[in-house]
Amino acid sequence: MKHVLGVALATSMVVGVMTAAAIESRAAQRAQPAKTPDWSGIWEVDWRNARKTPPRPPMKLTPPYQVKLEAFRAAQKNGENLQSQGANCVPPGLPRIMSQPYPIEFVFAPGKVVMLIEAYMQFRHVFTDGRKHPEDPDPTFMGHSIGHWENDTLVVDSVGFTESTQLADGVPHSDQLRIVERFRRVSPEWMEVQTTLVDPVVLAEPYTSTSSYRHLDDEIREYICLENNRDSADDKGRPGLSLEKK
C-alpha cells in the first residue's frame, strides 16, 4: 500500500513539474514567437537616407522647460553650454546614443536582443521573455528595456534613466520619461527605427522621430574615452585647458 501511495505521489509531483514547465513554455512562446525576424550584424545611422524618412519635427515643451531651454540658448551666446558632458567622457545614454555616428551590432539570443554600441563602449539588453519592468528600476544611462514583436517589428519599451541624460541639447527629462522604439528591417540593407519620447513633465505632447540605419560589412571597434582629455568641459560647458604645457 505504501509503495502504491509513493508511486502515486511521485507521479503527481512529476505531473505538477511538467504542468509548470508547460505553463512557462507557453508564456515564453507568447512573449516571443518561434520564428521572428533576425537582423543580427552591424548597423549604422544613415543620414544620407534621411530623405526616405519623415523630417524631425521640433519638440513641444511644457512652459517651465521652454523657459529652461531659452535660458540654455541665451547662455550659449555668452560662451557657455558649448560642450556637453560627452566632452568629459560621459555617455549620452538613451535616446541620443542611438544616433551617434558609430556602428551598433545587434545580437539575437533566446529571450533577448542585445545591442553592442561602439560609441562609449555601451550595450543594451532588450528582454523579450515576457518579463515586466521593475517597480523601482535603478536609473541607468540605457534604462530598463523590454520588447515584444508585432509581426516584423520589434517594439522596445524603456524606462528608468539617470538624470544626466538629455532629450536634446538643453532639454533634460523627468523621472517619468518613457521611450518606445519600433525597429523594422525594410530591406536587406536598410532598417527603420521610429522613436517616441513620452514625458508629461517636460514634453507638452509625445515626440516621435524616425531614423534609418544601413547595414555594414564591418565589425565593432574599441572606443576609449579618457577623463582629463584635451577637449574636456568645465561645469559651464566651456572647453577646458589643454593638458600640454606650452
Q: What does the block give as the cell for 56? A: 524631425
The SS3 of residue 31 is helix
Neighbours of 156 (CB within 10 A): 23
Judge contact between 160 and 151, C-beta under 8 A: no
**pTM for this predicted structure:** 0.78
State the burial class of residue 163 (Cβ atoms within 10 Å of its Cβ: 0-12, 13-18, 19+).
exposed
Distance CA(123)–CA(223), nearest Å, equals: 12
What is the maximal distance between C-alpha atoms in the chain? Answer: 95
| pLDDT, average across residues 115-143 | 95
Question: What's the confidence (pLDDT) of residue 57?
Answer: 82
Q: Residue 216's closest CA among 41, 96, 27?
A: 41
Judge contact between 49 and 190, C-beta under 8 A: yes
| pLDDT, average across residues 98-107 | 94
DSSP assignment letter at 130: S
Question: What's the confidence (pLDDT) of residue 242?
Answer: 42
Confidence tier at 86 by pLDDT (50, 70, 90):
confident
Confidence tier at 31 by pLDDT (50, 70, 90):
very low
Residues with Cβ within 8 Å of 206's Cβ and at least 6 positions away in sequence, in order, are 196, 197, 198
In the block, cell 523594422 appears at 184
Partners of residue 51 on adjacent β-strands: none
Beta strands in 82-139 (DSSP E): 104-109, 112-117, 122-127
Q: Residue 97's closest CA among 192, 195, 182, 174?
A: 195
Share of the chain above pLDDT 90, in %: 62
| pLDDT, average across residues 213-218 | 94
| pLDDT, average across residues 119-125 | 94
Partners of residue 193 on adjacent β-strands: 183, 211
Residues with Cβ within 8 Å of 67's Cβ and at least 6 positions away in sequence, in order, are none
